[in-house]
Structure 1
């Protein structure tokens, strides 16, 4: 498993069909990964305008270069304990069926290339996240990276 520390760049490189390039981020002291080809950019946390009468996981809206995009809180979506926002807190802007969506994460840590044989089905009770949102897990040394099914995680 090749790993590159996150340097702020969101430039994509081509991965072969038996590889998955993954943006790895932290939520509540756990590592999660999403397909890099769904990531448009990663931005620092900025002012989020709340929207009344929305689900708890909908943080609100941000203005990104003149475009308004919704921002979701994955901690709330996954029923994780709320944490402090720090200078490492980021918004990952991803492509969804309904356009760009921002997801708030504690920190983006690295870009990693996983081979298909490094990805396993999710055993029951392995993660704090509902298995409906998980497409698999990858082992790295003694730790696990939970690979998210972004479409299911973003669905209402």
Structure 2
């Protein structure tokens, strides 16, 4: 699935979410756009502006002496991109790689990073007024990883702080950053 397909789904969602758009116009609030993905039946979102592309799973080269959540690296058109296993980073059990598993290539701190996720869902548009601060009720995910919780009709989307997912701990940061410098 590429960005064009996600934007097509986004267009379809816009047509279906008339009530949210009307509310947005009335309240004058701004909109955030997220690429949503699923891990263990929980929907997460990352800012679409950080997303470079979405890939099917290529060959991943494992590296020694890297943090437990680094799955390895991939070669993306001559660029070596580290891949973070988001399941491991969040403390979930190991998942199986399926036909739906994807790598979301994002850009953070001027570096490209791949996020290994179970399933990329769609592009969602959420009024900022529908985003609540992080909650302590989300099990297994540090509130340092979360920017907020988006409410979209009957769905909740956990909005992630990508920089903290990658660079939270100093000792892990040094390892990841050294890999990024290669």
Are 2:108 and 1:96 aligned? Answer: yes
Q: In structure 2, how many angstroms separate the alpha carbons of the residues matched to 1:104 and 1:76?
A: 10
Q: In structure 2, how many angstroms separate the alpha carbons of the residues matched to 1:19 and 1:9?
A: 19
1:126 maps to which of 135, 138, 145: 138
- For the residue of structure 2 that corresponds to 1:125, the secondary structure is coil
Are 2:31 and 1:37 aligned? Answer: no
TM-score, normalised to structure 1, is 0.87
Higher relative contact order (CA 8 A, sep 6+): 1
Contact 2:126 2:151 in 1 (8 A): no
1:86 maps to which of 85, 98, 105: 98
Q: In structure 2, how many angstroms separate the alpha carbons of the residues matched to 1:58 and 1:17?
A: 38
Decide which structure has the larger Cα Rg and report it.
2
Q: In structure 1, how many angstroms separate the alpha carbons of the residues matched to 2:91 and 2:151?
A: 24
Aligned to 1:76: 88
Q: How many residues align?
A: 148
Structure 2 portions without partners, runs of 5+: 11-27, 168-172, 174-182
Q: Which has the higher strand share?
A: 1
Aligned to 1:53: 65
Q: Which has the higher helix share?
A: 2
Aligned to 1:21: 33
Contact 2:29 2:127 in 1 (8 A): no
Q: In structure 2, how many angstroms separate the alpha carbons of the residues matched to 1:8 and 1:75?
A: 22
- For the residue of structure 1 that corresponds to 2:3, the secondary structure is coil
